[in-house]
Amino acid sequence: MSQYTTADVLIVGGSIAGLAAAITAKEHDPSLNVTVVEKYTSGYAGKANRGAGVILVLGESTPEEFAQFYLRHIGMYLNNQRALLQYASMLNSNVEILDKWSGRIVKDENGKVRTSKWTSGPVARNEDGTLRFAETVEYPWELATVDLDYVLKIYGYARRKGVKFINRVGMVDLLTDDGRIAGIVGYDIDDGTQRVLTAKSVVLACGNQDWRVSPMWSPARGEGISAAFRIGARFVNCEFGSFYNWISLENFESEMGAEYALYNDKGENIGLRTVKDVHSDINAESLAEWYKQTVAGNGPMHHRVRENPLLPSLESMMDAEVMRARPFATRFWNTLMFNAFSQKTNDEVVPGLVGEFGGLWVDEDMATTVPGLFAAGDICVQGSRAWGAVAQPGRHRGSGIAFGTYSGRVAGPSAATYAAGAQVPIAHDEQITAIDARFNAPLNSDGSLKPLELVAEIQKVMQPVGNSLYRHEQRLRSALARIEDLKALLPQLWATDPHHAFGANEVAAMLLCSEMFFKASLERRESLGWFLREDCPEPSPDGPHWVIVENEEGQVSVSKQRVPLEDYPYQP
Amino acid sequence: MNTIIVNNELCNGCKICFKACFIDVIKWDAEARRPIIAFPEECVQCMFCEINCTQRALKVHPKYDSYMFPRENLA
Ligand SMILES: Cc1cc2nc3c(=O)[nH]c(=O)nc-3n(C[C@H](O)[C@H](O)[C@H](O)COP(=O)(O)OP(=O)(O)OC[C@H]3O[C@@H](n4cnc5c(N)ncnc54)[C@H](O)[C@@H]3O)c2cc1C
Ligand code: SF4
Ligand code: SF4
């Protein structure tokens, strides 16, 4: 049994990026039917309401100052500079607009948005052992804060503006009509009913791929990425989708700033030696140092929290005033921290894979390479190339909400404009039938492999720092070979209900993303920014280039493209 | 595996815990108007169901040492 629905603009994913796209599409053209399809329940779903709730703003800096600093110290000129400047120029207004939609941005007694400065970076150790800071480093950004029920408030705002919502329907594939987008096929996650939604334009805002390793990142399972790949969308910067947090294996909570107070088991500080002159946040080199020390038998590594110089700045960001202004976030964090610390007994830290793999290629209008298909939020953070050679959140915390809001605000009007000028597309039965057969295969299978069993095997390939961060051709090749072996097991997946049928669809997406990640990593034969290769320790003499990933007759194919620096305002 | 307990006496059937879960651990029993803890083995202790329950009718007890994490494959 299928249910058919039509919309002008269809948004997939009802978290921050999807809501921002939906509201701005509707505002751009109120006559359009703007519908959000969310796999769980919009307002509660997604990652945007389960984090620290800090949001990047420019403060007093100009977009040009931000961009120049960013290119030099973080993006390494691997950026689309037009996208970077557009992102920077919308950072301050993001916060104003989030406040208009939710009323939940923290303000001071005069009603001005309350911001705090990011701490200066420690550069070395004084003779008495204390840390020396580079006080002259003025980071060209500040951080605002928001209470974590803001997404629920924005959901209410969107409904009042006339945006329609279909909750508990997960998209599994995109439909095309003569090369352009025609809609989506999804399934009700509770009763398995097929839902066919035709639309003139579609915005993918359903998050990235995090391989379910870090608990809070668990909803990001890459179904939007695999669906876009299947209809031939282009990807870029896939090799940057491997963020790691410092975590404790006893509670998996992030330990920010651990690299400043990181000791091997011999009592040597091994973090500081990797800290560079300008150090805005966690760098890949300190994670690589953890790997080298571990391989040399100097582990486990310890985080001496009392020596962590970032703590005062983190605490000031979350002082009593901010806590009072954020009652929901305070309840959330108090509960999490109580649980986490009541089960913690030691100071060992390890790099825990977060991932944040979101390489769906988009231009400055948030258009993908498929006509009528747009994207916003985590799914296209690397794909927008605004950030360059860095993993998300890319050494500028508070950037996830900022990018989600910015890209949603761009994608919404772009998708509305496209829809207003487009004919009603045709949903082709043969596509719908093929999608149905693919999605339901595990329900009809005589295999015996449960999706979670395969997830565990994929995680064993993705988590190791030697595979996904401090890379080497040999290790990359064996990781890729293992992923190919696991792909061969897909037909054995077995499901008994819609929950596990989705589990199987997610596993297929995880394997595809892994393959894209390792193939792109093999193609980048250099070390640059977040991307490290043990066997290619220097930046490439060929200059900045992007690794493009495309679907060639169903296969993941990679190629290189030079960054067109001559078209951009800033040169290395 | 995490333990999630529902106090059916305190629960008023508001459905919020079911909506609050971001990965489909909790299903809904429409007839009984009570949550079903369907897939506790997948719970990631985000605590959203518990903190959003206005009746304090639901509790999550995390068991981190059984959380699905590739502990043997770190380096
Ligand atoms: C613990 C944690 C702390 C963080 N802290 C911060 C912070 O302090 N500041 C900051 O700026 N950023 C932070 N981030 C990052 C930030 O949360 C993300 O960048 C942001 O949520 C991205 O928004 P999004 O809408 O693109 O994706 P998401 O928030 O991941 O939302 C994607 C939505 O799509 C839905 N979906 C998924 N698959 C499908 C499908 N197949 N069909 C339909 N719908 C689907 C999901 O259910 C979800 O609602 C944090 C993240 C985490 C996990
Ligand atoms: S949120 Fe609480 S009161 Fe509401 S249905 Fe769940 S357990 Fe019952
Ligand atoms: S703690 Fe989070 S993941 Fe676990 S059941 Fe509750 S809402 Fe779902």
Mean pLDDT by 10 residues, chain A (572 residues): 91 98 98 98 98 94 96 96 98 98 96 84 65 69 96 98 98 98 98 98 98 98 98 98 97 91 94 77 93 97 88 76 91 95 94 98 98 98 97 91 98 98 96 98 95 98 98 98 98 97 98 98 97 98 96 98 98 94
CA distances from A176 to A147, A308, A363 (A): 40, 52, 20
Query: Does A107 map to a domain?
Result: no
B30 touches chain A (CB under 8 A): no
At residue A314, the pLDDT reads 76
* Separation of alpha carbons A227 and A232, rounded Å: 9
Q: Note the pTM of the prediction, 2 decimals.
A: 0.97
**Alpha helical stretches, state H, A119-208:** 150-160
Query: Does A521 map to a domain?
Result: yes
Determine the residue of chain B that is closest to A188 in CA distance.
B24
At residue A279, the pLDDT reads 75
Residues A289 and A270 sit within 8 Å (Cβ to Cβ) = yes
CATH classification at residue A465:
1.20.58.100
The number of the ligand 2 atom at minimal distance from the alpha carbon of B18 is 6
> Residue B51: which of A331, A452, A461 has the nearest Cβ?
A331
At residue B19, the pLDDT reads 98
Alpha-carbon distance B36 to nearest alpha carbon in chain A (angstroms): 12
Count Cβ atoms within 10 A of the Cβ of residue A568 and give its class: 0-12 exposed, 13-18 middle, 19 or more buried: middle
At residue A121, the pLDDT reads 65
- Pocket flag, ligand 1, residue A383 (CB < 6 Å): no
Residues of A in contact with B18 (CB under 8 A): 41
* Separation of alpha carbons A298 and B29, rounded Å: 53
Asked if B68 lies within 8 A of A499 by C-beta distance, the reply is no
Among protein residues, the one with the nearest Cα to ligand 1's atom 27 is A207
Number of domains in chain A: 1
Q: What is the mean pLDDT of residues B19-31?
A: 98
* Separation of CA B4 and ligand 3 centre (Å): 9
The number of the ligand 2 atom at minimal distance from the alpha carbon of B15 is 5
At residue A120, the pLDDT reads 59
- ipTM tops the 0.95 cut: yes
Asked if A215 lies within 8 A of B67 by C-beta distance, the reply is yes
Query: Does A525 map to a domain?
Result: yes
Give the 3-state secondary structure of A271-291. CHHHCCCCCCCCCHHHHHHHH
Q: What are B35-68's pLDDT values in tens digits?
A: 999 999 999 999 999 999 999 999 999 999 999 9
* Separation of alpha carbons A50 and A173, rounded Å: 27
B19 touches chain A (CB under 8 A): yes
- Pocket flag, ligand 3, residue B49 (CB < 6 Å): yes
Strands A532-533 vs A470-471: parallel, antiparallel or unpaired: parallel
Query: Does A528 map to a domain?
Result: yes
Looking at this protein, which amino acid is placed at residue A428? H
Alpha-carbon distance B8 to nearest alpha carbon in chain A (angstroms): 22
Residues of A in contact with B67 (CB under 8 A): 215, 252
* Separation of CA A237 and ligand 2 centre (Å): 43
- Pocket flag, ligand 3, residue B37 (CB < 6 Å): no
Q: A505 is in which domain, residue-wise?
A: 434-540
Query: Does A491 map to a domain?
Result: yes
Alpha-carbon distance A458 to nearest alpha carbon in chain B (angstroms): 9
Query: Does A386 map to a domain?
Result: no
Side-chain-side CA neighbours of A350 within 13 Å: the count stands at 23
At residue A135, the pLDDT reads 57
Residue with token string 């052992």: A129
Q: What is the CA radius of gyration of chain A?
A: 23
Q: How confident is the model at residue B21 (pLDDT cuts 50, 70, 90)?
A: very high
Query: Does A452 map to a domain?
Result: yes
